[in-house]
Amino acid sequence: MKQTIAVILAAGEGKRMKSRKSKVVHKIFGKSLIEWIYTSVKEAGIDESIVVVGHRADQVIECMGDRVKYAEQKQQLGTGHAVMQAEEYFKDKDGYVLVLYGDTPLVTSKTLKDVIEFHENNGCSATVITAEVDDPTGYGRIIRDGNGNVIKIVEQKDASSEEAAIKEINSGMYCFTIEHFVKALRMLNNDNNQGEYYITDTIGILVEMGHKVGALKLSDPREILGINDRVQLFEASEIIKARIMERHMRSGVTIIDPASTYIDEGVEIGIDTVIYPGTILEGNTRIGEDCIIGPDSRLVNAVIGDGTEVNHSVILDSSVGNNTHVGPFAYVRPGSSIGDKVKIGDFVEIKKAEIGDKTKISHLTYVGDAQVGRNVNIGCGVVTVNYDGKKKHKTIIGDNAFVGCNVNLVAPVVVENDTYIAAGSTITDDVPQNSLAIARERQTIKDGWVIRKGMQRKE
């Protein structure tokens, strides 16, 4: 089987983005533009990708890491020149080269598979990915012969009136047979007003050499859309969003209002889960079956079990078990693990804490740097006092403990199994099993104090 290599061009400056970042590292639904095209390449079964970097190369390399190989275009002298920088990776190989762009996130793996298959089955030296659009202004026109083969690509400025009326356009993406492509690259020149080497010229060179050039016309022309500014970034985002939403809904997820819902590409959601409006699901979030998420909830890299509800809450880099209720207005911070059949109620904050099964933390409570056992009841206004001004310390609460309202647990402290802590207590020492801890001053009444001190409140 012949090898296919992808060359992804990512050296351009992208001035119209008006950004300090490389254009191709701007993100759509959790993935950079270049990662979208790279994912399509991988899903098409292409294992080797060469990224041509130039402007802000460090950002592109940081984004892609060791997933790809790199070639550097030190001077931006056209698309043909960019591909020349990658020639060392494929010049002695037998197979095909896909030439793609780091700012075209909408191209699907199916299209890439189709163009390789078309190229191979039709014995082409080059295959152009094309699309038919209502307004082809500004694009190169595809000129075919009577057999449907491409004989040339005519740019807008060079097109006759008859050629300008053609609506089939060049996407700028190609599949080449390596042997012929290398020869054509070496014949490129920059004899034009811009002094640049254009990959488009290789098509004419191959035709003149007597090689066959084909064209695969896409059914959805939106796949070829490139990103040049923030408006086009938004337009592409809307298309990708629709794809993501449709995939989840066809997989058994109810999304009540897709327009007001944000779901990153990497998110997984089980069947019969309902996503309410205003929900944001980011990163590697995984949600089980039969859950209710939202409204107005944000989950980032969260793992949620089956049958769990998250209402008006935020969960970051944490896990929540099965049949648990979170919210409304709860905040689960990174490093937390919440068990099954737990209640995390309104205005509860959990930080780097482990919460055992069937535990209830119903409202207005902070549990940080803590290990909480099974079937624990933590009352309103409880605080694990974990910070002494220099270091964080851990609170451990055993199984079946009952912590009354407005209790301060000053860490490090251990509350053992089957204990009670009286409301209003500040606990600084460990509480042994089966004990009741009371740490508050006895109530004192001073009769007439308000009058003697002149402290009456008047309207």
How far is 258 from 242, CA to CA, in rounded Å? 8
- Is residue 213, in this structure, part of any structural domain at all? yes
**DSSP single-letter state for residue 250:** H
Instruction: Check whether residue 35 and residue 135 sit in a common domain.
Output: yes
Residue 383's pLDDT is 98
CATH code for the domain in which residue 415 is found: 2.160.10.10
Determine the length of the chain.
459
Instruction: Check whether residue 220 and residue 168 sit in a common domain.
Output: yes
Instruction: Check whether residue 162 and residue 257 sit in a common domain.
Output: no
Residue 338's pLDDT is 98
Is pTM, for the whole model, over 0.75? yes
Q: Catalytic: 363?
A: yes
CATH code for the domain in which residue 132 is found: 3.90.550.10
Q: Are 428 and 439 in contact (CB under 8 A)?
A: yes
Q: Are 307 and 323 in contact (CB under 8 A)?
A: yes
- Is residue 323, in this structure, part of any structural domain at all? yes
Rg of the chain on CA atoms, in Å? 31
Helices then strands, counting H and E runs in the chain, come out as: 9, 37
Q: Are 39 and 31 in contact (CB under 8 A)?
A: yes
Closest to 412 measured CA to CA, from 394, 426, 437, 433: 394
**H/E stretch holding 280:** strand 280-282
Among the candidates 224, 259, 278, a domain finishes at 224
How is 288-309 classified by DSSP, letter by letter? -SS-EE-SS-EEES-EE-TT-E
Among the candidates 180, 208, 224, a domain finishes at 224
Q: At what angle do helices 33-43 and 109-121 cross, to 10 degrees?
A: 50
- Is residue 205, in this structure, part of any structural domain at all? yes
Closest to 127 measured CA to CA, from 163, 97, 107, 92: 97
Residue 56's pLDDT is 95
Instruction: Check whether residue 210 and residue 174 sit in a common domain.
Output: yes
- Is residue 38, in this structure, part of any structural domain at all? yes
- Is residue 236, in this structure, part of any structural domain at all? no
Instruction: Check whether residue 120 and residue 194 sit in a common domain.
Output: yes
- Is residue 447, in this structure, part of any structural domain at all? no
Residue 445's pLDDT is 85
Instruction: Check whether residue 209 and residue 258 sit in a common domain.
Output: no
For CA atoms 233, 12, 70, 223, the dihedral sign is positive
How far is 357 from 398, CA to CA, in rounded Å? 12
Give one word for 12, left, alpha or beta, with left for phi > 0 and alpha for psi -120 to 50. beta
Instruction: Check whether residue 93 and residue 196 sit in a common domain.
Output: yes
Q: Are 121 and 173 in contact (CB under 8 A)?
A: no
Closest to 363 measured CA to CA, from 394, 331, 389, 333: 331
Instruction: Check whether residue 215 and residue 85 sit in a common domain.
Output: yes
Among the candidates 176, 207, 224, a domain finishes at 224
How far is 78 from 190, CA to CA, in rounded Å? 9
Instruction: Check whether residue 196 and residue 261 sit in a common domain.
Output: no
Residue 92's pLDDT is 84
Number of domains in the chain: 2
Residue 1's pLDDT is 55
**H/E stretch holding 216:** strand 213-217
Catalytic residue among 26, 180, 312, 363: 363
Instruction: Check whether residue 207 and residue 83 sit in a common domain.
Output: yes
How far is 238 from 96, CA to CA, in rounded Å? 33
Residue 182's pLDDT is 95
Neighbours of 140 (CB within 10 A): 24
- Is residue 107, in this structure, part of any structural domain at all? yes
Residue 47's pLDDT is 86
**H/E stretch holding 110:** helix 109-121
127 DSSP β-pair partners: 175, 214
> Half-sphere exposure of residue 172, counting CA atoms within 13 Å on the CB side?
21
How far is 100 from 108, CA to CA, in rounded Å? 12
- Is residue 452, in this structure, part of any structural domain at all? no
* Token pair for 183: 């020869």
Question: Which residues form the domain of 80?
Answer: 3-224
Closest to 150 measured CA to CA, from 132, 137, 168, 162: 168
Reply yes or no: is the peptide bond before residue 105 cis, omega within 30 of 0.
Answer: no
Q: Which own/partner contact pairs does 242-247 have at CB distance under 8 Å and 24+ positions apart?
A: 244/29
Instruction: Check whether residue 70 and residue 185 sit in a common domain.
Output: yes
> Half-sphere exposure of residue 33, counting CA atoms within 13 Å on the CB side?
30
* pLDDT, one tens digit for every residue, the chain (459 residues): 589 999 999 999 889 999 999 999 999 999 999 999 999 999 999 989 999 999 999 999 999 999 999 999 999 899 999 999 999 999 889 999 999 999 999 999 999 999 999 999 999 999 999 999 999 998 999 999 999 999 999 988 888 999 999 999 999 999 999 999 999 999 999 888 788 899 999 999 999 999 999 999 999 999 999 999 999 999 999 999 999 999 999 999 999 999 999 999 999 999 999 999 999 999 999 999 999 999 999 999 999 999 999 999 999 999 999 999 999 999 999 999 999 999 999 999 999 999 999 999 999 999 999 999 999 999 999 999 999 999 999 999 999 999 999 999 999 999 999 999 999 999 999 999 999 999 998 888 899 988 999 988 887
Residue 257's pLDDT is 98
Q: Are 319 and 301 in contact (CB under 8 A)?
A: no
Instruction: Check whether residue 382 and residue 325 sit in a common domain.
Output: yes
Residue 157's pLDDT is 85
Residue 364's pLDDT is 97
